[in-house]
Amino acid sequence: MKAIKIPNTALLDVFGRPVALNSHDFHRVSHVDPIEKNHNGSNGKDPNAIGIGIIPNNTNQLTVIGETPLHIAVFYNDINSVKLLVKHGVDVHQRVIGDFYPSLPNRTKQETKSGKQKRTSKFFNRNDSSNKPISLKNATTETHAYYGEYPLAFAAAFGYTEIYDYLIDHGADPNMQDSYGNTVLHMLVIRDRSDMFNHAIRHPVKKALTDIRNNEGLTTLTLAAKIGRRELFLECLELSHVEIWRYSNIKCCTYPLRGIDTITDSGDIDWNSSLTSIVNGKTEDHLAMLDNMVIERLLNDKWSSFARVNFVRQLILLCIHLFFLSTAVFLRNPKNTQSLVKKIFCHIAEVCVLIGCITSLVKLLAKEIYLQGYSAYIQNLKSYPEKLVYQCSCLLIILAVPFRILYLATKNVKFGYVEDGLVSLAVPGTFLYFLFFGRIYALTGAFIVMIFEMITGDIATFGVIYVIVITAFGQVLRSFIKSLLSDGSCSMGVDAET
């Protein structure tokens, strides 16, 4: 019996709808016309056209909706079907077209009256007419039913070594990138398959490269650091090292800093670096990565050569600033009944505090923004809220100066009240900056981080609810008391015998 060459088209169901295992079992695609016109212009319902003659209108270069038969054969680990399909000319580089959705906890669904669920948010909506790269910023590592777009990526994601080797032998390229820019190695990092990762990078026919970046600029090393794949991160780290000498089981190696350090070759900050992802990571795997010899040595070198000097200098300047601020607050006398010496010391302290605030906001702040860049400075500031509070406190002290001048010029008490309020808010915010310097100590570091997590989380939520409730009930209580007083039914006096 002569073998039939299987067409490299979409797999359709009996209703002419494309079948897509990569998103849902039955995936309906727009712009599909199940009824074709005859040559005479009339609409004919050819039963042979159902399932074969349906070609989507929105496919320019890629003509497959969902998986090809080759993808499905790989999915079920059917090596015989894979060999049959490849033997009869199925393209091993055929990509998948479909819609990919986030995992169940991150999906926003809305129940309809008919009982069906309407998808209100999509992980990625494929549009072939657009040339824009697909972003991974909203992606999650647990996104289900994403195994790449090439049959080779399917085989690697499921760990089918035999099918992987067979596709490689027949021209499959593990370094081809899908719509996300991910290669086979990116897919293996996402799926956390270290055994298949080692097989792919050491394949005798076609080795997978580890230095290819996806659409977010992540290599396999930086991607493993970002999503917390500790074993694969260490594997990528060892692949990049260069051995200088070896004596028995002792060796001297060098590791390239590109992709690891936060500073690029041009001197800019690399927010996709492994060190940034590890330090900002929230999982236990990120914490375990800090015990790596390379990461620990890099952090110690950065601290000793640069950070420690700036840290100590800022701490000394803060102590001096707080000394003059405390002196100005303690010697301040609104009634103007203090001695001349105290007045002089108070004014000197106020001038020093004002100079310190202006220096912090203008010189030091401008220097940091210049060195890091505005966007990088804002992103770095989010990790240290106490530093933001300190800068706001300096701004409040500067804003209090005009009200002091207006109070002295007009003798209006309201300006004095405004000045006192601004200073009252600025003083605790300035002392709060001490918590920033307490982060380096093991005794207080974790406690400080926990405090700010509570403040920005549960306490902030409680504060908003509390303000709303107090404001609402305060207005009702004020209206109630005011109505009682106006009616004269509430006695303001108290009996002497009470």
Q: pLDDT digit string (tens) for 336-376?
A: 777 888 888 988 999 999 999 998 888 777 777 777 777 77
Q: Token pair for residue 25?
A: 């079992």
% of the chain beyond a pLDDT of 90: 21
pLDDT score at 402: 92
Higher pLDDT, 427 or 441: 427
Instruction: Report the DSSP beta bridge partners of residue 12.
Output: 18
pLDDT score at 483: 78
pLDDT score at 144: 53
Q: What average pLDDT score do residues 385-391 get?
A: 84
pLDDT score at 174: 93
pLDDT score at 212: 92
pLDDT score at 66: 67
Q: pLDDT tens digits for 271-285?
A: 888 888 888 887 888
Higher pLDDT, 456 or 489: 456
Give the pLDDT band of residue 461 (cuts 50, 70, 90).
confident
Question: Which range (70-84, 92-106, 164-178, 419-433) has the least confidence?
Answer: 92-106
How many whole angstroms separate alpha carbon 93 and alpha carbon 477?
A: 73
Q: Is residue 387 predicted with pLDDT exceeding 70? A: yes
Question: Which range (144-148, 156-160, 265-269, 302-306) has the least confidence?
Answer: 144-148
How many whole angstroms separate alpha carbon 141 and alpha carbon 360?
A: 41
Q: pLDDT tens digits for 142-161?
A: 445 678 889 999 999 999 99
How many whole angstroms separate alpha carbon 427 and alpha carbon 392?
A: 11
Q: Is residue 117 predicted with pLDDT exceeding 80? A: no
Report the chain's mean pLDDT, rounded to a whole number: 75
By C-alpha distance, which of 129, 172, 119, 118 is closest to 148? 172
When mean pLDDT is compared over 96-105, 237-246, 437-446, the highest value belongs to: 237-246
Length of the chain, in residues: 498
Q: Angle between the 413-431 and 385-410 helix axes, to the nearest 10 degrees?
A: 160
Q: pLDDT tens digits for 398-419?
A: 999 999 899 888 888 888 889 8
What pTM value is reported for the model? 0.64
- Residue 195 identity: D
The three-point CA angle 398-401-405 to 5° equals 165
- Residue 393 identity: S
Question: Which range (43-47, 182-186, 378-382) has the least confidence?
Answer: 43-47
Higher pLDDT, 414 or 462: 414
pLDDT score at 62: 38
Q: Is residue 136 predicted with pLDDT exceeding 70? A: no
Q: Write down the H helix ranges in 331-383.
A: 340-358, 365-372, 374-381
How many whole angstroms separate alpha carbon 362 and alpha carbon 391?
A: 11
Q: Token pair for residue 305?
A: 């050569």
Q: What average pLDDT score do residues 442-470 get?
A: 79
Q: Is residue 186 predicted with pLDDT exceeding 90? A: yes
pLDDT score at 102: 41
pLDDT score at 124: 36
Q: What average pLDDT score do residues 32-36 get?
A: 37
Q: Is residue 9 predicted with pLDDT exceeding 50? A: no
% of the chain beyond a pLDDT of 70: 74
pLDDT score at 133: 47
Q: Is residue 36 predicted with pLDDT exceeding 80? A: no
Q: Is residue 246 predicted with pLDDT exceeding 70? A: yes
In sequence order, the 6+-apart residues with CB closer than 8 A to the CB of 225 are 233, 274, 275, 277, 278, 281, 286, 289
- Print burial letters for 180-197: b (CB count within 10 Å at least 16), e (below 16): bbbbbbbbbbbbebbebb
Q: Is residue 194 predicted with pLDDT exceeding 80? A: yes
